């Protein structure tokens, strides 16, 4: 049975039993403490813990998950993988143990003809918690008591690890037969190879207190008992497909087999090759799924994990002997294997593949640069007798060259060198802590967020009216700062019961405006959401005192909001124009807009041509001229997807989402920002820049409205000034400037030829002026105005004219307050103990600089041209002393 079919049967089974089918949430976790969705229950945590009311009494899903804590173990065994799918059914205070066990039994043992999975009932071995008699009795309706085993907290008890919900579990194990291990049920099978766990039913029924590890007090039963189950899709797939492990199922094996073909190896013939093939198969699939959910390679967070997966896969292929790019061959294979379950992978593959292939190309270049750096460092370490790469060096390889630490460890080990991994981890932790602290400080203004949480618990969510009005009559619920009262000139954070201010979100900066009360006034300089549901205003008090309980008017600056709306709507228009000119793969990957200005990052390879930029600007301004209607609609997330709305990858969304459309289907995006009412209100739109922001990603910048008009006016004025200056009609400027540039190039070429002739002449004169000092032909000189490169060429020319005799040439040139130094020696001079490196350092000391190089040629510089005569005299003395010695 194919994996996609198992998935379909699972969802259909529970849908028939009254469960709402919930689409898989993004792999990008909505929990800020997690990089990825790591378990099937993560999207349901607010409902399971009671933080939010559940929108349905029971639900089912097949959740995409990624775990990378043991990424180094992937491939070494057939158990470890980074991407997996967790089938789950959930009850939020509706049914409990008996029904959960019944539903699972009916699916697992139900006949294939009736929609079940058809597993043999006499090979099912349930386990329950030690004293969970209720679950034990429920299982006896289906399984003999001798096949139901009781286990302790390590195996059959669930909690978050902190005070809160907890409860016993019941695991479903399947007996694969004596060829996989000894008899005796799960308790007699420590490896779990024979009695394979396929499903875990969590009975969330208790409130636990604080405690260490598995030891904690049970405070009582929860008022509403929940069910959270998880069936490993990959495990069930390899059972039903008659293969030994997840690497051999239909969604993974095709990549493994194709990788083996490329490498010319046979899977199963060599352990080391097998490990690398499994790494490739797992990481290509995981990378595909992450990119499908909008993650792009980077040096931090999720982007770093994706980069690490892709680069480990590429590295494994190279170790298997495949030098050509591997992802263009392997990624389409994974797409074809996964798209029956996730059709978006096929429709969005152009974007996904562009990101992946660019990353492989970048890594192939990185391997050359990084390997050279690593080899140099390893050579130095070995020569110094300290065979350990420092944490700082490993961090530089990661941060500057994109080398994952495991790649550094592997490559260093191949050369017999260890790595200070602890030092590297410490530097990585420092970098992450700085980034997190910056993000927290931005949201909370450096204030302890617990104060905001207290206000939320006490007063409830902020009545946020940014879509409806620019003014509200409000009351101060709290002043959160150094003092409870803020006076003139002081900055503080203020929470109001109601506000019209837009809080920074979705790339749009916060509104500006004022708070006005009897006898006082404050300027609003920033607005954030430090905790979900609460809006906090950073204000600077201008007059009077601001304190808790004050009644005031909150007023948004009309011009600020109008310009911000123009910029945000302009961002949507530019995005739509990009997709029309470049194609649907030019998908937004991030944006920022403030009044009058916008920037938009999008997936694309290579710089845009002048014609593409012009076309994008034309399409955008045509939409503005047509005054297309702008409207916002609220709907469920599945409805929004069906409606054709684009979601910004990497963002998380609630069940109800806001769709902003411009011109109907011309532009439909999920967006919480503020917008104009018609596209004509955006005003003039001018692209001002286009640049790279990383591998496979570009950025366009634009100005709109009054700023757009001003930008175009400045360009018009510049053209007029150039026209007047060159005394040329405006339509002839390009031809005139082109002619001037051509003449300049000709003049520069003639000048270079003249300079070359002068250098040749100078070389002859300098060689003829050589003096014998200490048995060495010494040439010193100070030709004026030469660059370091020209001076080096002259010194080498002079040295060549002196033949095989012991000879040294030391030249210095001063220009614009700087000094260039070059020393060049013949081999015979070096045999007499002279070194160009030493001579240039002697000279550099007299001109306030330094230098160095090799024994035959060295260069340096300084900042005191007046010291050139002393520098050359010092060189002469050094040569004389060497000759005397």
What are the angstrom distances between the C-alpha of 854 and each of 717, 727, 806, 813, 858? 55, 55, 17, 20, 6
Distance, CA of 492 to chain centre: 33
Is 572 annotated among the ligand-binding residues? Answer: yes
pLDDT in tens, 67-126: 887 787 888 878 788 999 999 999 999 999 999 999 999 999 999 999 999 999 999 999
Record the tokens describing residue 607, joined without a space.
Answer: 């710089």
Q: What was the pLDDT predicted at 885?
A: 46
Q: Which of 875, 878, 882 is nearest to 860 (CA)?
A: 875
Q: Is 568 known as a binding-site position?
A: yes
Query: In the prediction, which pLDDT does 32 show?
Result: 55
283 annotated as belonging to a binding site for a ligand: no
**Where does the pLDDT of residue 444 fall: very low under 50, low under 70, confident under 90, or very high at 90 and above?**
very low
Q: For position 442, what pLDDT does the model report?
A: 46
- Torsion on CA atoms 603, 609, 611, 614, rounded to nearest 10: 60
DSSP states of 25-67: PPSB-SSTT-SB--STTGGGHHHHTTSS--SSSEEEEEEEEE-
Report which of 825, 872, 824, 816 is spatially closest to residue 845, judged by C-alpha positions: 872
Picking from 267-271, 423-427, 750-754, which range would have the lowest pLDDT averaged per residue?
750-754
Pick the range with the lowest mean pLDDT from 248-257, 636-645, 663-672, 767-776.
Answer: 636-645
Report residue 648's pLDDT band, with 50, 70 and 90 as the boundaries: low
pLDDT classification of 433: cutoffs 50, 70, 90: low
- Compute the average pLDDT of residues 547-559: 95
Enter the pTM of the model. Answer: 0.60
- Directed axis angle between helix 349-384 and helix 405-414, to 10°? 40
Say if CB 166 and CB 215 are below 8 A apart.
no
The answer for residues whose C-beta is within 8 angstroms of residue 44's C-beta and 6 or more apart is 54, 59, 90, 92, 228
From the CB of residue 558, how many other CB atoms can be counted at a distance below 10 Å?
11
Place of tokens 């990585």: 428
Specify whether the CB–CB gap between 69 and 217 falls below 8 A: no
CA-closest candidate to residue 203, choices 130, 127, 135? 135
Contact 787, 820 (CB under 8 A): yes
Region 594-622: what's the mean pLDDT? 91
Which of the pair, 248 or 788, is modelled with greater confidence?
248
358 with 365: CB under 8 angstroms? no
> DSSP letter at 180?
G
Residue 30 burial class via C-beta count within 10 angstroms: exposed 0-12, middle 13-18, buried 19 and up:
middle
Q: Which two tokens stand for residue 102?
A: 């019944």
Strand partners, 87: 62, 231
The predicted structure's pLDDT at residue 756 = 65
Distance CA 679, CA 885 (A): 86
Higher-confidence residue of 577 and 375: namely 577
Give dist(CA 277, CA 75) in Å, integer: 7
Instruction: Please report, for the chain, how many H helices and E strands are present, in that order.
Output: 25, 34
Q: Which CA distances in Å does 618 have to 354, 595, 615? A: 26, 22, 5
Pairing of strands 776-781, 771-773: antiparallel
Nearest-angstrom CA–CA distance, 119 and 601:
50
Q: Is 271 among the annotated ligand-binding positions?
A: no
Per-residue pLDDT band at 618 (split at 50, 70, 90) = very high
CA-based diameter of the chain, in Å? 110
Output the pLDDT for position 858.
94
Domains of the chain (ranges; CATH) run 3-241 (3.30.930.10), 252-366 (no CATH), 386-442 (no CATH), 449-556 (2.40.30.130), 569-714 (3.30.980.10), 751-883 (3.10.310.40)
Alpha helices by DSSP H, 530-679: 558-582, 610-625, 637-643
For residues 303 and 627, give the distance between their C-alpha atoms in angstroms, rounded to a whole number: 39
Q: Which residue has the tokens 């709402």?
A: 20
Residue 233 region by backbone torsions, left for phi larger than 0, else alpha for psi between -120 and 50, else beta: alpha
Q: Which residue has the higher pLDDT, 387 or 652?
A: 387
Nearest in space to 593 (alpha carbons), one of 557, 629, 566: 566
Please say if the pLDDT value at position 521 is more than 90. Answer: yes
Residues 6+ apart with CB under 8 A from 293: 26, 27, 28, 64, 649, 650
**Dihedral sign, CA of 420, 421, 426, 429?**
positive
Do 733 and 726 form a contact (C-beta atoms < 8 A)?
yes
**What sign does the dihedral 492-495-498-504 (CA atoms) show?**
positive
What are the two backbone dihedrals, phi and then psi, of residue 91, each rounded to the nearest 5 degrees? -125, 130
**Which residues lie across from 553 on neighbouring strands?**
473, 516
What is the DSSP secondary structure assignment for residue 184, as one 8-state letter? S
What mean pLDDT is predicted for residues 657-665? 92
What's the start-to-end Cα distance of the chain, in Å?
Answer: 89
pLDDT tens, position by position, 136-186: 999 999 999 999 999 998 889 988 777 778 899 999 999 999 999 889 999
What angle, 0 to 180 degrees and rounded to 10, lies between the N-to-C axes of helices 301-319 and 253-263?
40
Higher-pLDDT residue of 236 and 719 is: 236
Contact between residue 349 and residue 288 where contact means Cβ atoms under 8 Å apart: no
For 30-41, the pLDDT digits (tens) are: 665 678 888 888
11, β-bridge pairs = none
DSSP track, 138-171: HHTTTS-GGG-EEE-HHHHEEE-SSSEEEEEEEE
Q: Percent of the chain, pLDDT > 70?
A: 94
* 3-state DSSP assignment of residue 766: helix
Tokens at residue 3, please? 């994996």
pLDDT in tens, 330-355: 999 999 999 999 998 998 898 889 88
């Amino acid at each position: 049975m194919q994996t996609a079919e198992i998935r379909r049967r699972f969802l259909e089974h529970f849908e028939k039993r009254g469960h709402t089918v919930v689409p898989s949430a993004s792999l990008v976790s909505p929990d800020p403490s997690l990089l990825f969705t790591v378990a099937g229950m993560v999207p349901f945590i607010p409902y399971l813990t009671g933080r939010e009311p559940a929108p349905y009494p029971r639900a089912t899903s097949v959740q995409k998950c990624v775990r990378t804590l043991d990424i180094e173990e992937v491939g070494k065994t057939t158990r470890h993988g980074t991407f997996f799918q967790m089938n789950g059914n959930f009850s939020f205070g509706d049914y409990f143990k008996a029904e959960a066990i019944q539903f699972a039994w009916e699916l697992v043992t139900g006949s294939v003809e009736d929609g079940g999975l058809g597993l043999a009932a006499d090979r099912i071995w349930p386990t329950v918690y030690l004293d969970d008699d209720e679950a034990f009795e429920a299982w006896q309706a289906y399984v003999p008591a001798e096949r139901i085993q009781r286990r302790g907290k390590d195996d059959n008890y669930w909690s978050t690890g902190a005070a809160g919900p907890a409860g016993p579990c019941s695991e479903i194990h399947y007996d694969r037969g004596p060829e996989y291990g000894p008899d005796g049920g799960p308790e007699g099978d420590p490896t779990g190879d024979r009695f394979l766990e396929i499903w875990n039913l969590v009975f969330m029924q208790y409130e636990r207190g604080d405690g260490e590890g598995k030891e904690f007090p049970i405070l009582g039963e929860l008022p509403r008992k929940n069910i959270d189950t998880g069936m490993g899709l990959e495990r069930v797939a390899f059972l039903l497909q008659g293969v030994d492990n997840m690497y051999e199922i239909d969604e993974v094996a095709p990549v493994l087999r194709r990788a083996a073909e490329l490498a010319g190896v046979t899977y199963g013939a060599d352990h080391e090759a097998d490990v690398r093939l499994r790494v490739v198969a797992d990481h290509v699939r995981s990378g595909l799924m992450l990119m499908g959910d909008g993650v792009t390679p980077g040096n931090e967070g999720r982007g770093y994990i994706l980069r690490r997966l892709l680069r480990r896969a590429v590295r494994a292929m190279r170790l298997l002997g495949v030098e050509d790019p591997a992802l263009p061959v392997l990624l389409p294979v994974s797409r074809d294997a996964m798209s029956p379950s996730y059709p978006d992978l096929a429709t969005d593959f152009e974007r996904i593949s562009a990101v992946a292939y660019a990353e492989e190309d970048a890594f192939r270049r990185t391997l050359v640069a990084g390997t050279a750096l690593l080899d140099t460092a390893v050579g130095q370490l070995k020569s110094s007798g300290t065979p350990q790469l420092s944490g700082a060096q490993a961090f530089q390889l990661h941060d500057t060259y994109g080398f994952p630490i495991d790649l550094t460890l592997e490559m260093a080990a191949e050369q017999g060198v260890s790595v200070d991994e602890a030092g590297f981890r410490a530097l990585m932790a420092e970098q992450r802590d700085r980034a997190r602290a910056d993000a927290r400080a931005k949201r909370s203004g450096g204030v302890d967020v617990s104060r905001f949480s207290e206000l939320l618990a006490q007063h409830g969510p902020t009545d946020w009216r940014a879509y409806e009005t620019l003014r509200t009559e409000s009351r101060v619920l709290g002043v959160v700062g150094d003092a409870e009262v803020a006076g003139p000139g002081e900055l503080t954070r203020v929470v109001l019961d109601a506000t019209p201010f837009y809080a920074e979100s979705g790339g749009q900066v916060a509104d500006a405006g004022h708070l006005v009360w009897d006898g006082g006034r404050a300027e609003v300089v920033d607005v954030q959401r430090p905790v979900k549901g609460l809006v906090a205003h950073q204000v600077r008090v201008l007059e009077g005192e601001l304190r808790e309980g004050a009644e005031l008017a909150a007023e948004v600056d009309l011009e600020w909001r109008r310009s911000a709306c123009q910029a945000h709507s302009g961002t949507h228009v530019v995005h739509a124009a990009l997709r029309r000119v470049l194609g649907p793969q030019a998908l937004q990957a991030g944006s920022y807009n403030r009044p009058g200005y916008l920037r938009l990052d999008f997936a694309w390879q290579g710089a845009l041509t002048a014609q593409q930029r012009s076309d994008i600007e034309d399409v955008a301004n045509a939409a503005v001229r047509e005054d297309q209607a702008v409207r916002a609609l609220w709907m469920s997330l599945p409805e929004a997807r069906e409606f054709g709305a684009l979601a910004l990858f990497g963002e998380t969304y609630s069940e109800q989402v806001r769709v902003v459309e411009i011109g109907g289907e011309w532009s439909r995006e999920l967006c919480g920002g503020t917008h104009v009412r018609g596209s004509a209100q955006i005003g003039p739109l001018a692209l001002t820049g286009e640049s790279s922001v990383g591998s496979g990603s570009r950025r366009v910048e634009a100005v709109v409205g009054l700023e757009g008009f001003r930008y175009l006016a400045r360009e018009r004025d510049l053209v007029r000034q150039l026209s007047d200056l060159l005394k040329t009609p405006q339509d002839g400027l390009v031809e005139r400037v082109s002619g001037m540039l051509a003449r300049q190039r000709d003049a520069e070429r003639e000048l270079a030829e003249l300079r070359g002739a002068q250098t040749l002449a100078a070389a002859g004169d300098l060689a003829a002026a050589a003096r014998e000092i200490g048995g060495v032909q010494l040439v010193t000189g100070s030709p004026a105005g030469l660059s370091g490169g020209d001076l080096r060429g002259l010194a080498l020319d002079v040295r060549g004219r002196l033949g095989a005799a012991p000879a040294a040439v030391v030249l210095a040139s001063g220009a614009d307050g700087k000094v260039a130094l070059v020393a060049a020696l013949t081999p015979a001079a070096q045999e007499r103990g002279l070194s160009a490196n030493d001579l240039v350092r002697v000279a550099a000391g007299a001109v306030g600089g330094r230098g160095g190089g090799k024994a035959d040629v060295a260069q340096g510089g300084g900042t005191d041209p007046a010291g050139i005569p002393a520098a050359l005299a010092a060189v002469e003395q050094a040569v004389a002393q060497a000759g005397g010695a």
